[in-house]
Structure 1
Amino acid sequence: MGGDKGDGYWRRLVRRLTSEVEDLDADDLSEQAEASGAQRACDCRSGQEVTVLGRLRSVELSPRDAAATLEAELFDGTEGVTLVWLGRRRIPGIEPGRTVKAKGRIAVRDGRKVLYNPYYELQTTT
């Protein structure tokens, strides 16, 4: 009775003690995204309406032609998704390290998943 539950606990504990910090962070992000009802980025396909949740790894202004674009790399523990806001130079709160939930239609640009002008919610950290 309960032997399997205890075995699972010890396996997780040993894994946490022997895993790289980045792997653990990725696992935590993936679990947080799943708990919020968001799709895993690795499961998202071009053309789908999706909701993804993850941490912004980078944010940069990318001048393309005459209009600037703000691009942010969101990582959910499984894969990255580039968030692109056309014609924006800055968005308050969109900065590296922030956790963001983004919604939109997935596209693929240069082999990478992209959400153009996504609806987004800044998440509070607890």
Structure 2
Amino acid sequence: MPALSARLRRLSKSLRTSREHLEAEDEERSASRRGTDPIGSLASRQRARVSGVLQAVTYRSSQDKPILVGQLYDGTGSIDLVWWGRRRIAGIKPGAHLLAEGRVADGIHRQQIHNPAYQLLGPGQ
């Protein structure tokens, strides 16, 4: 039975990996269709127009200054969208699709765009 259990674990992992790969391809196609810059190829200090899905949204407080951070994923990579002075923004939540514009900056974990101009995208946009 241990061999069967190991096979089932490998199959389960394979299915998850396939699903993640398909989702990444779908996001990459959508971003390409919108004519946005691939996140995975951005350079620091360039103006960028990116789109994708928010994978995570977190709130941080820095010396009494609120900071809202959304991790945007487009299938080629992720970038943090950082809104200074904001605790929440209507529609900015995990799973939301959006288009954002701004100047790319280097961050600790990944590149960032500070106070981006953004547009929430509906289904099929």
For normalisation by structure 1, the TM-score amounts to 0.83
Q: Runs in 1 of length 4+ with deviation above 6 angstroms?
A: none
Report the equivalent of 1:12.
none
Task: Find the partner of 1:25 among 20, 23, 37.
Answer: 23
User: Amino acid of the residue matched to residue 36 of structure 2?
Assistant: A
* Aligned-residue RMSD, C-alpha: 1.3
Q: Output the CA distance in 2 between the equivalents of 1:78 and 1:106.
A: 16
SS in structure 2 of the partner of residue 109 of structure 1: coil
Task: Find the partner of 1:64 among 62, 65, 76.
Answer: 62
User: Amino acid of the residue matched to residue 114 of structure 2?
Assistant: Y
Report the equivalent of 1:95.
93
Report the equivalent of 2:120.
122
For normalisation by structure 2, the TM-score amounts to 0.84
Report Cα offsets for 1:54-74 as digits up to 9, x if no partner: 000011111112201000000
The structural deviation recorded for 1:111 is: 4.6
Report Cα offsets for 1:83-111 as digits up to 9, x if no partner: 00000000000000010100000000115
1:36 aligns with 2:34: yes
User: Amino acid of the residue matched to residue 53 of structure 2?
Assistant: R
Report the equivalent of 1:51.
49
- Unaligned runs of 5+ residues in structure 2 are 1-14
Task: Find the partner of 1:105 among 103, 106, 109.
Answer: 103
Report the equivalent of 2:83.
85
Report Cα offsets for 1:9-44 as digits up to 9, x if no partner: xxxxxxxx9x61111000000010011010000111
